[in-house]
Amino acid sequence: MGADIPAGVEMSRRILEDELGKETVFRDASKLLPDYVPSTLVHRDEEFRQLTRIFRPVLENNASQRALLTGSTGVGKTAISMKFGEELKSAMRGKDLKLDYIHVNCRKDNSIHAVLLKLVHHYNPREPYRGLGPEKLLGDLVTRLRAHDEYLLVTLDELDYFMQLNGPDVLYWLTRAEEERGERNRISVIAIAKSREEFLRLLDAPTQSTFLHNVLPLEKYNARQLTDIVNQRLGDAFRSGSVDPETVEMIADTASRWGDARLALELIWRSGMVADMERCDSVMPEHARQAKAEIYPEIKKEVLQDMKFHEKLLLLAVARRLKISKQAYAMTGEVEKAYAVVCEEHGEAPLKHTQLWEHMQKLGELGLVDVQPSGAGHRGRSMRVSIPEAPVTWIEKEIVKVLGR
């Protein structure tokens, strides 16, 4: 460092270099961002096929089509529509039919004017279109499509949100205005909404009927599907081998309660951040617990205080077992051994198996542990236990505190 560098600058450069020099579990964290669309979507083949069937008449007969995609947050509505639009566009490249795709996020472009402006700007980015009403803007778009003999597929994403604000007129403009004038409609629409019923309820009968036969519901993902979705990103987002498979399983389990792929990806991203912060070279279940606690601080200290004495001992045993094993799940046999040790520490006689099991059920009802059949690889009706909602180190500390009273 030269002596002429002011102290403050030198300091910030050192911080910068220090931070950049640190080891990280990530290869490219941006691959986990919500707007990143992976090259293939897993577990959505059938839905993709159905979309293709719905829009086939556009390609073959120059017809205009509408579809409604529904489903809760994180089921891949945005991803599948974007993927479909882009695939369709590139499949048509060099063919007779000219087809373009535009994805509009109606939460961002949240007026009819803004939506139509987005469409005309796609073709004429520099034109200001100041002071023009919907009719003029649409007219401009339609004239252009006609002049170039082009077709357009538009996704109106988050349209339910938009219609709460503005009503359904935008659909009228895009789906019926041309037809009523006796012109061929060159614009096809994918509408996206959370609920089919609430969406349709807001439409007038003629517009409703244009969607009614083409509703495509996306179901919530289950834990296995979410595991596949997260695993698909690992190679791009993380250094190889830096994510423990049980961490993924645990995250998939949590996110499966909502069926939400966005939550699963956010959790693995946050878990990676926690691992980096703790300077660990792999992402472990404990990091996922911390990541979850950041998003959902669900365990309240009062709950811990109000538990029965042996429930506290049992929870402490589960936490200790998980802390030592560094795994996401503990087998009940292992927990019982850990529980016996905890009892001995506190000079208590351990409860019998059935009674202990009732306590375990109670912890489950309180949402403190999650008990599941252990699945393949273990004989009999053995169960496994996890602490999904909070770092086990935190649970251990808090339980020791309440036991101390």
Query: Residue 316 contacts by C-beta under 8 Å, 6 or more apart in sequence?
Result: 342, 395, 396, 399, 400, 403
Residues that bind ligand ADP (CB under 6 A): 34, 36-38, 41-44, 71, 73-79, 229, 232, 261-262, 265
Nearer residue to Mg ion within complex by CB, 77 or 292: 77
- Placement of tokens 């499509």 in the chain: 145
User: Which stretch of DSSP H or E encloses residue 105?
Assistant: strand 98-105
Interface with Mg ion includes 185 (CB under 5 A)?
no
**Contact of residue 335 among Mg ion, ligand ADP, none (CB under 5-8 Å per partner type):** none
Burial category of 162 from C-beta neighbours within 10 Å (exposed 0-12, middle 13-18, buried 19 and up): buried
Residues from 187 through 246 that contact Mg ion (CB under 5 A): none
Contact region for Mg ion (CB under 5 A) — 69-77, 196-204, 234-242, 343-351?
69-77
Min dist CB 74 to Mg ion, Å, is 8
Min dist CB 167 to Mg ion, Å, is 21
Contact region for Mg ion (CB under 5 A) — 77-85, 96-104, 293-301, 330-338?
77-85
Distance CA 95, CA 32 (A): 35
Min dist CB 220 to ligand ADP, Å, is 10
Min dist CB 116 to ligand ADP, Å, is 23
Nearer residue to ligand ADP within complex by CB, 76 or 272: 76
Q: First and final CA of the chain: distance in angstroms? A: 56
Nearer residue to ligand ADP within complex by CB, 76 or 350: 76
- 3-class secondary structure, 137: helix
Nearer residue to ligand ADP within complex by CB, 260 or 398: 260
- 3-class secondary structure, 33: coil
Min dist CB 87 to Mg ion, Å, is 18
Nearer residue to ligand ADP within complex by CB, 98 or 103: 103
For the chain, give the longest Cα–Cα distance: 88
Min dist CB 73 to Mg ion, Å, is 7
Q: Identify the residue among 64, 70, 78, 105 touching Mg ion (CB under 5 A).
A: 78
Distance CA 158, CA 234 (A): 28
**Contact of residue 293 among Mg ion, ligand ADP, none (CB under 5-8 Å per partner type):** none
Min dist CB 17 to ligand ADP, Å, is 32
Residue type, 40: T
DSSP E strands in 121-234: the ranges are 150-157, 187-193, 215-217
Distance CA 160, CA 200 (A): 10
Nearer residue to ligand ADP within complex by CB, 44 or 287: 44
- 3-class secondary structure, 94: coil
Nearer residue to ligand ADP within complex by CB, 41 or 237: 41
Residue nearest to ligand ADP (CB): 76
Min dist CB 77 to Mg ion, Å, is 5
CA distances from 355 to 330, 339, 359 (A): 19, 13, 7
Nearer residue to ligand ADP within complex by CB, 46 or 365: 46
Half-sphere exposure for 81 (CA within 13 Å, toward CB): 30
Distance of alpha carbon 176 from the chain centroid: 34
Min dist CB 71 to ligand ADP, Å, is 6
**Contact of residue 41 among ligand ADP, Mg ion, none (CB under 5-8 Å per partner type):** ligand ADP
- As beta bridge partners, residue 373 has 383
Q: Which long-range contacts (CB under 8 A, 24 or more apart) does 104-107 make?
A: 104/154, 104/155, 104/156, 104/157, 105/157, 105/158, 106/156, 106/157, 106/158, 106/159, 106/161, 106/162, 106/170, 107/157, 107/158, 107/161, 107/162
Nearer residue to ligand ADP within complex by CB, 38 or 375: 38
**Contact of residue 57 among ligand ADP, Mg ion, none (CB under 5-8 Å per partner type):** none
Distance CA 155, CA 39 (A): 19
Nearer residue to ligand ADP within complex by CB, 72 or 325: 72
Min dist CB 371 to Mg ion, Å, is 33
Binding site for Mg ion (CB under 5 A): 77-78
